[in-house]
């Protein structure tokens, strides 16, 4: 039976049988050396001595792990295990033969045999390892493994090359590295070349794939490496980050496609561990919208910081079930309470806070999809504004220490209902904070904070999953406008920022992140297409569909870009903005609630215009589902013409694969 078809247990039994044969040969050799005869006279004790040797040495080797070693990967500890086994077995064998009182055989055999056996055991493993390596090499030649280039001749690249040699799919042929001191050297029997020679290597070896082995490099450097490999027409895979390896999320032999985050050219924001540890460990924490993209990641980040308990508050049953099950698997010792409920249900939310003694609230529940909220403005305003107001008031009444609201860059000079509703929610939150400070209820009022950031990559409503689906189906990839720009950040980064911001300040602050330069959405789409099509001959088009109702070309993080100040975190800033005073906000919120109760869209738009700087109601609210029809008189054709005037719809641009 071929060795690759043997089970693990069968291979171990085969090794035990091999060692028994080696012990028999070694004992024969010990007698032969001592008596100077190839066929010595054993005087009837050979089989007894062999039995004693096997009965003592095999269990010792089993205990020391000799038979757990994988022959394809010879262990450097083999010699140590063999010598330890020899020493222990000499003591046991000597004692056993003394008790058996065997006569006639020289005692020096007990010294000669263990040395011969140990040499034979070590030599047999080395022979088997070399045989296995040659056998695998012959299989690779038959199966024609793909030649690959490894970018990065550091420790990760070396380990990757060694791992690939034992596989059947890839054959590493050379290293690329940016460090001149490594050029011309051999690392793991592979020569290291400068990046300038990539074209020569691709032609010489017929390389079509490159493996990026630089898990510690920053985003700007990774972007340069990716662009170099793209220009050479190579498909790119990468080694997981070492932090993921340590956590057990990935293995070193697992390669992943280059992520979209590597194409943005911006390093992620490093968390401040002191801030992360300030408001979570040992506390009762509640997350609203716990099943959403941001809310679920907040739950993961909070759970990792060892709270006393984590309360998941979510209105979507399936989303709540998913995050509860995930946290149960990742953190089995953590107390997790899954609560079905809406933040608009004041009694339910207050009962939950009191029941679990909540000390920190992270309010991520909101309607965030711009076109959907634009079509359903009454529902969007009610949920975003009064859900936040309800949660904030309950936090004060229940004596919650910290309340943080998750906001968005769309709340700055909004041109859509979603952004306007989030800005009003911010004002409502700040109003409650000010009222709590003045009334001193409770004696230590809840500390409120707001964190505002841009688009989150790979969230349920972001463009990245949409682009991936469109590319997988052959296109076209739809972009609303060629000049559309957005700020982007990763989901874990956004969640870490939220937790850190909750530990800052004295209360009533609006925080935002230095997110670098905005990224053109069409450029993001183009890079994703290039990554997906460079190894094939497909052509995928980009189709411009025109701005949707309520969309802006460029989002902002500050109402007044000049008015911000630094915080203790180098990438987090505090906005210095002036909104309406608390009394005005309270009066207009009462009017807004009355307008929502009457389903008066006209009044709702009017109040939003008073509360939110620069917001103007849509002149022709096309396809609004929950509107008061008597409030408007317009023609759908006028709305269509207005949208077409913004951008010529559906010009097609074809992105071809890299040469």
CATH superfamily ID and name for 273-644: NAD(P)-binding Rossmann-like Domain (3.40.50.720)
Of the ranges 166-175, 359-368, 457-466, 551-560, which one carries the lowest mean pLDDT score? 551-560
| Three-class secondary structure of residue 313 per DSSP | strand
**Residue 590 belongs to what H/E stretch?**
helix 582-597
Instruction: Write the pLDDT tens digit of every residue in 2-49.
Output: 445 566 677 778 888 888 888 888 888 887 887 777 777 666 567 777
Instruction: Write the pLDDT tens digit of every residue in 213-232.
Output: 887 677 667 778 887 887 88
**Burial grade of 566 (CB within 10 A; 0-12, 13-18, 19 or more):** exposed
Helices 582-597 and 601-611 cross at an angle (nearest 10°) of 170
Architecture of domain 145-258: 3-Layer(aba) Sandwich (3.40)
Pairing of strands 360-363, 402-408: parallel
Task: Give the domain ranges of the chain.
Answer: 3-140, 145-258, 273-644
Instruction: Write the pLDDT tens digit of every residue in 264-311.
Output: 555 555 566 677 677 888 999 999 999 988 889 889 989 988 899 999
**Burial grade of 8 (CB within 10 A; 0-12, 13-18, 19 or more):** exposed
For residues 291 and 312, is the Cβ–Cβ distance under 8 A? yes
Instruction: Write the pLDDT tens digit of every residue in 106-130.
Output: 566 777 888 888 888 888 877 877 7
Cα–Cα distance list, 465 to 316, 406, 456, 461, 583 (Å): 21, 22, 11, 8, 43
**Residue 193 belongs to what H/E stretch?**
strand 190-193
Instruction: Write the pLDDT tens digit of every residue in 393-450.
Output: 999 999 999 899 998 888 888 888 999 999 999 999 999 988 887 775 556 688 898 8
Rounded-to-integer distance, Cα 559 and Cα 562, Å: 9
- Residue 428 is predicted with a pLDDT of 94
Of the ranges 37-46, 72-81, 363-372, 546-555, which one carries the lowest mean pLDDT score? 72-81
- Residue 559 is predicted with a pLDDT of 46
Hey, which of 17-21, 360-364, 616-620 has the most confident mean pLDDT?
Answer: 360-364
Confidence bin at 570 (pLDDT 50/70/90): low
Q: What percent of the chain has pLDDT over 70?
A: 71
- Residue 214 is predicted with a pLDDT of 80
End-to-end CA distance of the chain: 48
Hey, which of 410-414, 510-514, 568-572 has the most confident mean pLDDT?
Answer: 410-414
Task: For the full predicted model, state whether its pTM sits above 0.75.
Answer: no
- Residue 115 is predicted with a pLDDT of 83
pLDDT at 650 over 50: no
């Amino acid at each position: 039976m071929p060795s690759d078809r043997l089970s693990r247990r069968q291979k171990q039994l085969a090794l035990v049988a091999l060692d028994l044969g080696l012990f028999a040969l070694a004992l024969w050799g010990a007698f032969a050396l001592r008596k100077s005869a190839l066929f010595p006279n054993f005087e009837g004790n050979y089989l007894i001595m062999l039995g004693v040797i096997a009965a003592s040495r095999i269990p010792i080797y089993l205990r020391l792990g000799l038979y757990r070693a994988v022959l394809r990967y010879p262990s450097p500890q083999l010699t140590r295990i063999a010598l330890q086994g020899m020493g222990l077995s000499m003591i046991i064998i000597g004692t056993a033969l003394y008790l058996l009182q065997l006569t006639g055989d020289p005692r020096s055999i007990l010294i000669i045999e263990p040395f011969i056996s140990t040499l034979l055991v070590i030599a047999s493993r080395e022979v088997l390892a070399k045989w296995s390596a040659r056998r695998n090499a012959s299989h690779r030649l038959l199966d024609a493994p793909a030649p690959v280039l490894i970018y990065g001749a550091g420790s990760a690249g070396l380990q990757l090359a060694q791992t690939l040699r034992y596989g059947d799919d890839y054959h590493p042929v050379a290293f690329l590295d940016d460090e001149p001191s490594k050029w011309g050297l051999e690392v793991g029997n592979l020569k290291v070349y400068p990046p300038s020679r990539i074209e020569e290597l691709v032609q010489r070896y017929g390389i079509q794939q490159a493996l990026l082995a630089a898990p510690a490099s920053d985003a700007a450097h990774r972007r340069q490496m990716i662009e170099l490999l793209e220009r050479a027409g190579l498909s790119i895979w990468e080694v997981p980050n070492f932090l993921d390896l340590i956590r057990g999320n990935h293995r070193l032999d697992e390669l992943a496609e280059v992520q979209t985050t590597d194409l943005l050219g911006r390093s992620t924001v490093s968390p401040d561990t002191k801030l992360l540890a300030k408001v979570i460990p040992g506390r009762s924490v509640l997350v609203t919208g716990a099943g959403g993209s941001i809310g679920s990641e907040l739950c993961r980040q909070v759970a990792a910081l060892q709270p006393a308990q984590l309360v998941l508050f979510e209105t979507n049953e399936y989303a709540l079930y998913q995050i509860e099950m995930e946290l149960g698997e990742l953190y089995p010792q953590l107390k997790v309470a899954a609560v079905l409920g809406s933040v608009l249900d004041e009694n339910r939310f207050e009962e939950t806070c009191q029941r679990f003694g909540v000390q920190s609230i992270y309010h991520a529940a909101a309607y965030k999809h711009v076109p959907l909220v634009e079509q359903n403005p009454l529902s969007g305003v009610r949920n975003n504004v009064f859900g936040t107001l309800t949660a904030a008031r309950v936090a004060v009444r229940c004596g919650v220490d910290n309340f943080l609201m998750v906001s968005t860059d769309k709340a700055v000079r909004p041109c859509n209902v979603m952004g306007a509703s989030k800005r009003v929610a911010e004002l409502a939150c700040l109003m409650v904070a000010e009222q709590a400070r003045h009334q001193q209820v409770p004696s230590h009022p809840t500390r409120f904070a707001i964190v505002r950031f841009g688009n989150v990559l790979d969230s349920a409503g972001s463009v990245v999953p949409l682009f991936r689906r469109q590319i997988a189906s052959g296109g076209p990839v739809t972009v609303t406008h060629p000049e559309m720009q957005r700020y982007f950040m990763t989901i874990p980064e956004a969640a870490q920022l939220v937790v850190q911001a909750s530990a800052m300040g004295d209360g009533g602050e609006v925080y935002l992140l230095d997110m670098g330069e905005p990224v053109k959405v069409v450029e993001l789409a183009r890079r994703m297409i290039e990554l997906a099509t460079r190894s094939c001959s497909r052509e995928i088009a980009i189709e411009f569909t025109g701005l949707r109702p309520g969309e802006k070309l460029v989002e902002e993080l500050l109402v007044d870009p000049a008015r911000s100040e630094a915080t203790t975190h180098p990438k987090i800033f505090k906005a210095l903005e002036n909104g309406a005073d608390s009394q005005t906000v309270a009066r207009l919120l009462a009017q807004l609630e009355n307008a929502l109760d009457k389903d008066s869209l006209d009044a709702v738009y009017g109040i939003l215009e008073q509360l939110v700087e620069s917001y103007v109601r849509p002149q022709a609210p096309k396809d609004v589902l929950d509107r008061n029809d008597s409030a408007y008189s317009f023609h759908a054709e006028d709305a269509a013409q207005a949208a077409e005037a913004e951008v010529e719809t559906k010009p097609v641009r074809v992105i071809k694969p890299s040469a």
